[in-house]
Structure 1
Amino acid sequence: MASGVAISDEVVKHFEQIRVRYHGSEEKERFKLVIMRLSEDKKSIVVDHKCSLKIKDLEKEADIFKKIISMLPDCDCRYCLYDCFYKTKESSKQDLVFIMWAPDSASMQNKMVYASSKVALKAKFQGLKFEWQVNDPADKDLSCLIERLGGKDVIEVEGKCV
């Protein structure tokens, strides 16, 4: 990897679980959001268990998208896999969105490490359809995600009409 940061086996395992939607398990136990961060020693990318969400964690949320976005820290970078449910004019869809969160308030060193590690991480995530780069709180807006998912053809995201 260009940055010298390794990708933990657990990250790959969580990708497989969210990608196949953990068939055979209860739907409530499926991952909705897997957040990844640099380890404390900054030598590997690991799963951030405190911020990752399963469907059961979102049952009482009035606005699932806002809850997903609220899991991103204000001053540090993160990678995310978000299992997004949305509808277009033609059909209902569920796709994984790879999110790279690199806010302006994060340190330059962290932003550089995350940016240089992204290609190798995405190489482990075969079959991703959508990527969403978020650098500013204004980019966290639902309209920015909708643009990635298909723009004007999207009529609903996470049960909310747009």
Structure 2
Amino acid sequence: MASGVAISDEVVLAYNQIKIRRQGDDEKERYKLVMFCISENGKNIVINHDLSLKNKHIENEENVFKKIASMIPLKDCCYGLYDCNYATTESQKQTLIFIMSAPDNAPLKKKMLYASSKAALKQKLEGVSTEWQVNDCSDMEMAVLVDKLSGTKEKVISLEGKKV
């Protein structure tokens, strides 16, 4: 909490729900994308429900990645967790991706607050190893994320069911 911004219990609960699959849970109610923002008073990181998606919201989407990318604001800072499905030459995979969005045109003071709060948030989201930094439209391309996921020897061949 170097910036003085606390992480709400709701954020930790959402993280625990997105990272653990429990037998009997309704898959449609699982988060696919959960977005976080710093509250208006600047004291807490909270869920932005308007920008978050559950699996039921994307089940008829032709291009899930495009839908996910469209939820990331281009003029405001935010954080997110994305439950990403992809395939490599070896197997099907799922990973949680931490999103840090600090668009170039966002106010400098806000970008600094988000940057200084990021470490405390990531510490609460233990085990999330892939980070997707979004600063402008070019960062929202599928190829950028595929490059992040290709950090291993295995080549990514599809993302959210779409060939890359």
TM-score range relative to shorter protein: over 0.9
Partner of 1:134: 134
Equivalent position of 1:157 in the other structure: 159
Report what 2:40 is aligned to: 40
1:22 touches 1:30 (CA, 8 Å); kept in 2?
no
Match of 1:147 in 2: 147
1:121 paired residue number: 121
- Cα 1:91/1:62, change in 2 over 3 Å: same
How many Å separate the matches in 2 of 1:31 and 1:22?
A: 13
CA distance in 2, matches of 1:24, 1:10: 22
In the alignment, the residues of structure 2 paired with residue 73 and residue 140 of structure 1 have an alpha-carbon distance, to the nearest angstrom, of 11
Could you list the structure 1 runs, at least 4 aligned residues long, displaced by more than 3 angstroms after superposition. Answer: none
Which residue does 1:9 correspond to in 2?
Answer: 9
Alignment partners' CA distance in 2, 1:158 and 1:109: 35
Q: Residue type matched to 2:161 in 1? A: G
State the AA in 2 paired with 1:87. A
In the alignment of these two chains, the number of paired residues is: 162
Structure 1: 5+ residue runs without aligned partners? Answer: none
> Residue 79 in 1 paired to residue 88 in 2?
no
Distance in 2, matches of 1:16 and 1:55, equals 16
Q: CA deviation at 1:22?
A: 5.1
Match of 1:30 in 2: 30
| Structure 1 range deviating more: 102-111 or 151-160 | 151-160
- Sequence identity of aligned pairs in percent? 56
Q: C-alpha deviations, 1:63-107, integer Å up to 9, x for none?
A: 100100111112100100000000000000000000101101110
CA contact (8 A) 2:33 2:80 kept: yes
3-state SS of the aligned residue for 1:50? strand
Deviates more, 1:140-149 or 1:15-24: 15-24
The reply on whether 1:106 has 2:106 as its aligned counterpart is: yes
TM-score, normalised relative to structure 2: 0.95
Q: Is the 8 A contact 1:21 1:31 kept in 2?
A: no
